[in-house]
Structure 1
Amino acid sequence: MPSYKKHVLFSIIMALPFFPDVFYLSLAVLGASMLDMDHDVNRKNLTIMALIGMVIALALYILNLPFLIGLILVVLAMVFYVSKHRGFMHSILGICLISGFMAVFVMGSRLVLQDFTVPLKLALIFISLVLAFIILNRKLLPVFAVLVSLGIFLTPNYLLNSMNICYVFSAVLLGCLSHVILDMSTPAGVRILSPISSRKYRKKAAFGLFSLWVVVVFIFFVNGGWGSVLQVL
């Protein structure tokens, strides 16, 4: 099984061509680290996630703000809790679900903090650190906190102001996908088509997905990056 360090490094490698900004790279790292929350050793983290989600939901409900933001964490914790390791949450459908929920949570949290006139950089640092506290290995957490806080602080405002749900979803998805590719490279393999199929995919599929990523990176740069993508959308 790849270590959390390998997952973190590979998530950065896969996200960097699309997102050279620290905030999005941090989301990729969080996405890559999140998938293993379906492991029995991470039950404590799931409890923390559910509790934080309930506190956020209650606070927002009292303030007459969108409390569904907090419930997203509760739902994610429940889904991870009932999932088997390297099961549904490691599948294509699973990582899309995770990425979608995370994108809504991040964008929703940003808007709520904006209502309280919290500066954008401070809001993004706060969101990153809350998610890191829930998700990341405790050995990695201090380094992540320092580097991400410093990186977001030094990022030009115009880059952060261009933030949208498409970027956030894509960054988390790339992190999740990097995790799946590494896990498929092991003998145990991954059921990437669960629940449609229980077949396990291994090294050949991992190589295929990584090759597809290389092709997408090439097309992305040839066609002018995110500007052309957003025009299509």
Structure 2
Amino acid sequence: MSSYKPHAIAGLIFALPFIPSVFYLFFALIGASIPDMDHHTNNDKVYSMFVIGVILSILLFFYDGLSISALIIVSLAVIFYMSKHRGFTHSLLGISILSFLFMLLVMGFIPILSRIFLSLGFDISSSLILLVILAIIGYFVISKRYLYIYLLILAIYLVVFPVDYTSIQWSKVLLTMFVGALSHIVLDLWTPAGLKVLKPFTDFKFHKGLAIFLVLIWVLSSIFVLFTYGSFISNLNPLFMYT
């Protein structure tokens, strides 16, 4: 998608003031990629997501009982399939629900993968588990053109700066995913077509005016966070830590 790069950059910029470490920017990038999963060019990914979700649901049911995480994959595929382009996935309610579901997806598969690897005799690190989960999610939502770059940076980061998943701030994961998705909406509001951001409550289309308002809210929120918790740039010591 030609518009993917601006959306990715905007997602990273929008999330930057609110993250406790660089690690959370991977979630912001995922969030910025989520809305366009309703695009017809991603149909193959959506179909694959549905099939994989169903297969995992069956396999994990016999292995470890009912898996909510596998059912979430199926639910996400259904949402993307049912949503028309620039429809529900480009609404405030849509990105809120999708961000929450993706957060639950990551949370749920961490213990599942840990148990599976342990049952096979492998006591693998938290970073490797996170690499597997974020790589799989990235395969579905990140543009194919930039997927290998995403995977390379993700792998290098987790090797150089190991992450303990027990210390991940899940509220920040949810926030950065939402902010990343919100940045996508802001950019799309600048297009002549506009967006129905309050769908399904109303089909009214919003345009640049709302984009400017949302950017203003982001600026004020960023200033508040930076003045309250300190400068992100000046505090380099914990910059790459996971807490």
- The TM-score, its normalising length taken from structure 2, stands at 0.86
Deviations 1:29-69 (A, max 9, x none): 11111211111221111011112222322232121255110
In structure 2, the residue matched to 1:6 is: 6
* Counterpart-to-counterpart distance in 1, 2:77 and 2:175: 21
* Aligned residue number for residue 204 of structure 1: 209
Residue equivalent to 1:17: 17
Question: Is contact 2:68–2:108 with CA below 8 Å preserved after alignment?
Answer: no
Could you tell me how far apart the structure 2 residues matched to 1:175 and 1:104 are? 17
Residue number in structure 1 paired with 2:129: 123
Partner deviation per Cα, 1:102-129 (whole Å, 9 max, x = no partner)? 0100111112233334311001111110
Counterpart of 1:84 in structure 2: which amino acid?
K
Listed as ranges, the matches of 1:136-151 within 5 Å are 136-151=142-157
Aligned counterparts of 2:226 and 2:55: Cα–Cα separation in 1: 43
Matches within 5 A, 1:86-105: 86-105=86-105
> How many residue pairs get matched?
224
Residue 151 of structure 1: CA displacement? 1.2
Q: Aligned partner of 1:175: which letter?
A: G
Gaps of 5+ in 1: 226-233
Greater C-alpha Rg:
2
CA RMSD between the two structures:
1.8
Q: 1:38 to 1:78 in 2, by over 3 A?
A: same
Q: Secondary structure at the match of 2:13?
A: helix
Matched letter for residue 185 of structure 1: W
Deviation (angstroms), 1:185 = 1.1
1:14-163 superposed matches below 5 A: 14-19=14-19, 21-115=21-115, 116=118, 117-155=123-161, 157=163, 161-163=166-168
List runs of 5+ in structure 2 lacking aligned partners.
231-243
The 3 A distance-change label for structure 1 pair 206 and 96 is: same
